[in-house]
Amino acid sequence: MSITLTILGCHSATPRINAFPTSQYLEINNSHFLIDCGEGTQRQMRKYKVGFSKINHIFISHLHGDHFYGLVGLLATFGILNREKELHIYGPKGIKEVTLLQLKTSQSHANFKIIFHELVSKKSELIYEDEKVSVKTIPLNHRVYTNGYLFTEKEKSRKLHTENIRNYKEIDKADYLNIKAGKDIILSSGEVISNSELTIPPPKPLSYAFCSDTSYKPDIISIIENTDLLYHEATFLSDRKDLAKKTKHSTTKQAAKIAKEANVNQLVLGHYSGRYKDISLFKKEAQEVFKNTELAEPGKVFSIK
C-alpha cells in the first residue's frame, strides 16, 4: 500500500531553462500513471528514470499548451521504441482529433492502439478502475474545460486476526476463506463468533488528488476530503489575488484554504508564475493557513504509505 508521486514539471505557461510545464508521474501499488504532459515531458521522464513502457494510462487535465504539448512527442517516441501495448488517454473532448492529426501529419506509425477517453461531464465521475485503484474526475474552474483527478486505492479485504482465532480451537484453516470473505463463524455449540472479532480492518486506502489549473473552488472539498496528498495549483502569491481571479488561477492562500477545509494530510503547491524568482515565498505564505505544505520541484518525490 503506497503512493509515490514524482514531479516532472511544475511551472506555468512556457518552458524555460529551469522551468518545466506540468507533468507528474504517479505510482500506486505498481500501477503507473502519467498526469499532464507539457512540452519536454519525455525528456524529464528520461532524466528522472520513468520507464516509458510502464505507462499505460495518461490523464490530461485540460488543453492549454503547458499541459499537453508534449503528448504527441511522447506518443511518437513510444512508436519509435516499438511499443505494442495499448495506451489509454483521458482528457477533454478535442484531444483525440488534434493528437491523431499530429501523428498522421508526422507519419508516426504506431503499432500500438491508442484509446481516447474524452471527457465532457461537469460532474465528478469514475473514469478508471482496476483491482487496485480507481480514478475520479475533480471538475475545476479554469478558462477552459478542466478536470483534476482523484486517485484512490481500492479498499483491501480484512486480514485474519490470528491471535483471536487461536482462542477457538474449533476454527481451522478450512474456515479462513470464509473469514476473509467477511463471514461470521458458528461454532458447534451454536455460538456465533462475529467476523469483526476474527479479522483486522485493512489499512485506510491511500489517495492522491491532483488539482490542476483552477480558480478558488471550494465545492471540490467534498470530493477530495481527507485525501492523503493534495497537489493544488498556486500560480500567484496573495499579492496578485485579482490577477488570479481574472486568469482563473489560485493563490497560495486559496490553495492552502482548500487543503485545510478538506482536511488533507499534505499539500503540494505548483504551477508557479514565472514572475516570481523566489518560490520559497509560496511555501511560507501557504503555511500561514496550512502547515504541512511542500513545494513541487522537478525531480522531487512525495511518498505516502
Per CB under 8 A, residues contacting a second copy are: 13-17, 39-40, 42-43, 46-47, 63-65, 68-70, 72-73, 76-77, 80, 94-95, 97-98, 101-102, 105-108, 143-144
Q: How far is the CB of 296 from a second copy (least distance, A)?
A: 19
Residue 182 or 274: the one with the smaller Cβ distance to a second copy is: 274
Nearest to 25 by CA among 305, 304, 299: 299
Catalytic member of 36, 66, 213, 228: 66
Residue 73 or 148: the one with the smaller Cβ distance to a second copy is: 73
DSSP 38-79: -TTHHHHHHHTT--GGG--EEE----SHHHHTTHHHHHHHHH
Q: How far is the CB of 148 from a second copy (least distance, A)?
A: 19
Q: How far is the CB of 300 from a second copy (least distance, A)?
A: 18
Residue 97 or 191: the one with the smaller Cβ distance to a second copy is: 97
Q: Quote the Cα angle for 283-286-291, to 5°.
A: 90
Task: Return the amino acid letter for 48.
Answer: Y
Residue 144 or 200: the one with the smaller Cβ distance to a second copy is: 144
Give the span between the Cα atoms of 170 and 188, in whole angstroms.
Answer: 8
- 77 sits in the region (left: phi over 0; alpha: psi -120 to 50; else beta) called alpha
Residues constituting the chain: 305
Residue 102 or 292: the one with the smaller Cβ distance to a second copy is: 102
Q: What is the sign, positive or negative, of the torsion defined by CA atoms of 87, 90, 94, 99?
A: negative
Cell matching residue 227:
485525501
Q: How far is the CB of 127 from a second copy (least distance, A)?
A: 20
* Catalytic site includes residue 66: yes
Nearest to 189 by CA among 169, 208, 162: 169
End-to-end CA distance of the chain: 6
Distances (CA, A) of 221 to 92, 107, 130: 22, 44, 25
Q: How far is the CB of 124 from a second copy (least distance, A)?
A: 24
How far is Cα of residue 125 from the mean position of the Cα atoms in its chain? 14
- List residues with catalytic annotation: 66
